[in-house]
Amino acid sequence: MSETTRFNASAVIHKYKKKSQWRTIWLRLKKNRLAMFGLALFILMMTAVVTADMYYDYEEDALSQNLSNRFNDPSREHPLGTDQYGRDVMARVVYGGRISLFVGLATICVSLTAGSIIGAAAAYYGGKVDEVLMRFMDIFLAIPNTLMAITLVAALGSSLVNLILAMGISQIPRMSRIVRSSVLSIVGQEYVEAARACGTSDARIIFRHILPNAMGPILVQVTQTVARSVITISSLSFIGLGISEPTPEWGSMLSEARSQLRYHPHLAIAPGVAIVMAVMSLTLLGDGFRDALDPRLKN
Amino acid sequence: MPLLETKGLKKYFETPRGLLHAVDDVNLVINAGETLGVVGESGCGKSTLGRLILRLLEPTAGEVVFDGQNILGYDQPRMKEMRKQMQIIFQDPFSSLNPRMTVSEIIAEPIKVTRALPTQDAILERVFDLMGIVGLAERFVNTYPHELDGGRRQRIGVARALALNPRFIVCDEPVSALDVSIQAQILNLMMDLQEDMGLTYMFITHDLSVVKHISNNIAVMYLGQCVELAATDELFTQPLHPYTQGLLDAIPVPSLSAKKHFNIMKGEVTSPVDPNPGCRFAPRCPRVTPSCAEQELELRERRPGHFVSCCR
Amino acid sequence: MSENLLEIRNLHVTYKTDDDEIFALNGVDLKVKKGETLGLVGETGAGKTTMALSIMRLLPDRVGFIKQGEILLEDMNLIKVTEADMRLMRGQDVSMIFQDPMTSLNPIHTVGHQIAEVLFLHHPNAAANEIEQKVDDMMEMVGIPSDRKAEYPHQFSGGMKQRIVIAIALACNPKLLLADEPTTALDVTIQAQVLKMMNDLKDSFNASMILITHDLGVVAQICDSVAIMYAGEIIEVGSAVDIFESESHHPYTVGLFGAIPDMTKKTRRLNPIDGLMPDPTSLPLGCRFAERCPRREDICASERPSVMQMSATHGIKCHLFKRGDERATA
């Protein structure tokens, strides 16, 4: 190039602002009312759970029994009333949410990491690698999720870490299938071939060219898996395999409230509604993501 | 001076129906600074051939000789070094660009991968350089490909291919997806680049008028085999293979005086799964003889520099 | 009754998206004579397919709207016809062939069934064996042995599928056939076969045809008259002779011809048309081609040209051709 065009390239590039793709996705998501409702609900629950210590004392409100205050109806002091041991139901729902949402998010970390590696490897390398990995996953897929988690918890013992591992592992087959199919649709694209033509390493191709484009279906699956984990942990606790008394957990709260259903239904309704809200917010959000993540759509 | 040669290049794919002879014993020579056009209908193996030469697919047999050396024997690090010299431009300007990367990221990617330039600034400068060369305005540097039209996208594809200063580029139908007026812009660009940088092209297409315009020599492929190879003018004025003749007759010419009475080749292209011995064009050939199905054919020099694989 | 089978007057069509209005057709006038093949030529986004969809009344619901204008098929205004009547007219009076034969056939029905279906829809009282007979006839007519009617689309090659699509389109003797890039997805040798067949069939059925294409070569081979579209307008219309052999042309037509590599001459450089088609959401005020036009004048930016009649058949929408203007043929 001639000397007149000698310029400071990095200065020029800043003149043309890069539109972040996350921003476009966010703008698109914002248009979807249901998704925004889901997001708001989810943020609300997360905030409540994270800031719980500011208005409740875990030991005092959620754990210690206060038998003189049993079965109080909802009041200013106890917005959702108290249970059969006189503990504040609101406090227990909030602290129970900590467990459910934490387990849900931790589970997804386990299953997303393992599922992505297995699924991407199967799709990218194909052939025998694909065959072996996927048949192995099929075996796991044949066992119902909850049953699998129960078996693992029974074998490993029911600590929180074991619970997360058990649920995470039981979600891996589903996750890896989604990742695989989504990567398969990208692997044949010509830009992948273009990357190979200039000697790009397999890892860089997978992480820079394939996975970012396969994100859409994966993210939808992630939100749904978190939702499902919330249900699974509750079911496990309900049957006494998950989190056990006196630690507050939605499933175990439900289980305990069964006996009081006739005279004190709010004890069951509160954790029940919490579960519905958590699952619904994530599902709505996931649906919104699916539409917003297609890069070919114009704003 | 030949820059690239293929010797007995073969690629067979296993399919449920049998062995698909996608590329079957192809011998070609491309001289430095020239363009070889590869013409054929869908399924003739022309795209596979391009990918074999770049080792995006591993050949079943044969040699790809680049600059006097058989690159099929290269190990990974040496091949990576080699890839800087040979690049590819794709047909579809939609699927050939990563939709999550900006124009500058796409053009810079080959440079980053090969660590050809040391600093971020040097890379950016090169990106702007390349954008100027292919005629992309500066202001597109941070746009995403789906915000641009087909012609501009294809310019990005060309810039990416040029990023490492290659000597040889496989062009796989680079203008087929574009409108005529845009197609002409890209063809002019590619010819200018060839003149300025001394590039060597292998130009794969099904469009005979485009290939005539840009090529020095033309190879006509049919069902995985090269059936005719000649200089462009020679091929168009004196096609010797009946398939080439039929192909030339089938082109609709935009002129009333050239209106043809549909001199049409019968039949359709089949697929070369477990092909019978003998000439693969025989079932459609207007001048077929009983001996066509028996003889093994190879390219023979019928006139100086004009090779044909036909038993007549 | 006039000699025109189809007459389109001042047709305006827009597409509404969430935040934009796309002006797809902006005042199109077009006549198609009985038994004639009209080539509708233009680049991507010129509005060719929108035109066909408007005639078929198949514009996407709640997105595409006919804003004004008339589409007269034998003096019946198709825009006013009820949806139920229109459904009967499709196939019977107008039918359409789509570009991609791979996706326009239903993969889970046999091809014979798909031809029979359209016959049955329009002749609900016909006897089963009559329809079977007609299916056999149609298949033979498009050059496929009728004993293959029990096969499924995936068992046919691309060229054969397009033949079947054509058989379906012609099964009810339509008066007007709309062919939207019918051979673009096919190889040259197959394209030649299909074009010849379409041309012969059109004659034997005594139908008119609008052939939508971007390939001037195809037009020269089989069209009687030609309309060239740009940015939702017809900028030049005439008989094949007018378009391919006359001296005066719209600068865009000249550009189109210049951009095709000429098989008969050896030129080093092609002459592309600079620039791009204008953004259909905000079209320029004057002539739509002005920005890219090598012969642009001051008036072009401000005033929209009207059609200048060069002869009885040949019309050009360009300021260069004001009556008696000498510059035009330079």
Q: Smallest Cβ distance to B146: which of A1, A199, A295?
A: A295
| pLDDT tens-digit map of B90-123 | 988 888 999 889 999 999 999 999 888 888 889 9
Considering the four listed CATH numbers 3.40.50.1970, 3.30.390.50, 1.10.3720.10, 2.130.10.10, the one that applies to the domain covering A21-53+103-292 is 1.10.3720.10
Q: Smallest Cβ distance to B250: which of C188, C270, C271?
A: C188
The confidence score (pLDDT) of residue B261 equals 60
Q: Which tokens sit at B224?
A: 């995985």
Q: Smallest Cβ distance to C263: which of B185, B212, B265?
A: B212
Chain A contact for B204, CB < 8 A?
no
Q: Which residues of chain B have pLDDT under 70?
A: 258-263
Q: Which residues of chain A have pLDDT under 70?
A: 1-10, 19, 294-299
Please give the Cα distance from A138 to A171 (Å, whole number): 12
User: B141–A13: do the CB atoms touch at under 8 Å?
Assistant: yes
- Report chain C residues whose CB lies below 8 A from the CB of B269: 157, 187, 189
Q: Is pLDDT of C278 > 80?
A: yes
Q: Which residue of A has its CA nearest to B131?
A: A1
- Report chain C residues whose CB lies below 8 A from the CB of B42: 158, 187
* C68 close to C191: Cβ distance less than 8 angstroms: no
Residue C2: band (very low, low, confident or very high) from pLDDT cuts 50, 70, 90: low
Domains of chain B: which residue ranges? 2-85+168-179+199-308
3-class DSSP assignment, residue C199: helix
- Chosen for mutation from B71, B112, B123, B125 (greatest number of chain A CBs closer than 10 Å) is B125
Q: Smallest Cβ distance to B183: which of C158, C187, C259?
A: C259
Chain A contact for B251, CB < 8 A?
no
Q: Does domain B2-85+168-179+199-308 have CATH number 3.20.20.70?
A: no
- Report chain B residues whose CB lies below 8 A from the CB of A16: 138-143
The confidence score (pLDDT) of residue C326 equals 46
Q: HSE-up of B185 (CA within 13 Å, CB side)?
A: 19
Q: Is pLDDT of C265 > 80?
A: no
The confidence score (pLDDT) of residue A4 equals 41
Q: State the average pLDDT over residues C234-258.
A: 91
Rounded to 10 degrees, the C-alpha dihedral B234/B239/B245/B247 comes to -40
Residue C43: band (very low, low, confident or very high) from pLDDT cuts 50, 70, 90: confident
Q: State the average pLDDT over residues C158-178.
A: 90
* A220 close to A211: Cβ distance less than 8 angstroms: no
Which CATH code fits C4-93+174-329?
A: 3.40.50.300
Q: State the average pLDDT over residues C248-266.
A: 84
Q: HSE-up of C60 (CA within 13 Å, CB side)?
A: 7
State the chains in contact with C (3 or more Cβ–Cβ pairs under 8 Å): B
Give CA separation, B264 vs B59, B252, B260, C108, in Å: 35, 11, 10, 33
| Closest chain B C-alpha to C113 CA, distance in angstroms | 24
Tell me the residue ranges of DSSP E strands in B40-107: 61-66, 69-70, 86-89
- Chosen for mutation from C43, C189, C190, C222 (greatest number of chain B CBs closer than 10 Å) is C189
Which residues on chain B place their C-beta less than 8 Å from a C-beta of chain C?
A: 41-42, 149-151, 179-185, 187-188, 191, 206, 208-210, 212-213, 233, 236, 246-247, 249-256, 258-260, 262, 264-266, 268-269
The confidence score (pLDDT) of residue C29 equals 93
The confidence score (pLDDT) of residue B276 equals 78
The confidence score (pLDDT) of residue A7 equals 58
- Chosen for mutation from B152, B181, B212 (greatest number of chain C CBs closer than 10 Å) is B181
Q: State the average pLDDT over residues C279-296.
A: 88
Instruction: Output the pTM of the full model.
Output: 0.83
Going A25 to A26 to A28 to A33, the CA torsion angle's sign is positive
The confidence score (pLDDT) of residue A111 equals 92
Residue C266: band (very low, low, confident or very high) from pLDDT cuts 50, 70, 90: low
* C13 close to C65: Cβ distance less than 8 angstroms: yes
- Report chain C residues whose CB lies below 8 A from the CB of B236: 263
User: A12–B138: do the CB atoms touch at under 8 Å?
Assistant: yes
Chain B contact for A203, CB < 8 A?
no
Please give the Cα distance from A283 to A34 (Å, whole number): 10
Going A36 to A38 to A44 to A49, the CA torsion angle's sign is negative
Chain B contact for A212, CB < 8 A?
yes
Q: Which residue of C has its CA nearest to B40?
A: C187
Chain B contact for A265, CB < 8 A?
no
Q: Which residue of C has its CA nearest to B247?
A: C189
Q: How many residues belong to chain A?
A: 299
| Closest chain A C-alpha to B61 CA, distance in angstroms | 20
- Chosen for mutation from A191, A206, A219 (greatest number of chain B CBs closer than 10 Å) is A191
Domains of chain C: which residue ranges? 4-93+174-329
- Report chain B residues whose CB lies below 8 A from the CB of C217: 251-254
Q: Is the peptide bond before A246 cis (omega within 30 degrees of 0)?
A: yes
- Report chain B residues whose CB lies below 8 A from the CB of C263: 208-209, 212, 236, 251, 253
Q: Which residue of B has its CA nearest to A203?
A: B113
- Report chain C residues whose CB lies below 8 A from the CB of B258: 220, 264
- Chosen for mutation from C260, C262, C289 (greatest number of chain B CBs closer than 10 Å) is C260
Q: ipTM value of the model?
A: 0.85
Q: Which residue of B has its CA nearest to A210?
A: B98
Strand partners, C70: C9
b/e map B124-156, b = 16+ CB within 10 Å: bbbbbbbbebbbbeeebbbbbbeebebbbbbbb
Q: State the average pLDDT over residues C175-201.
A: 86
The confidence score (pLDDT) of residue A296 equals 58
Phi then psi dihedrals of residue B55, to 5 deg: 55, 35
User: A10–B121: do the CB atoms touch at under 8 Å?
Assistant: yes
Owner of token pair 């290049």: B9
Q: State the average pLDDT over residues C246-256.
A: 90
User: B253–C255: do the CB atoms touch at under 8 Å?
Assistant: no
Q: Smallest Cβ distance to C240: which of B213, B256, B268?
A: B256
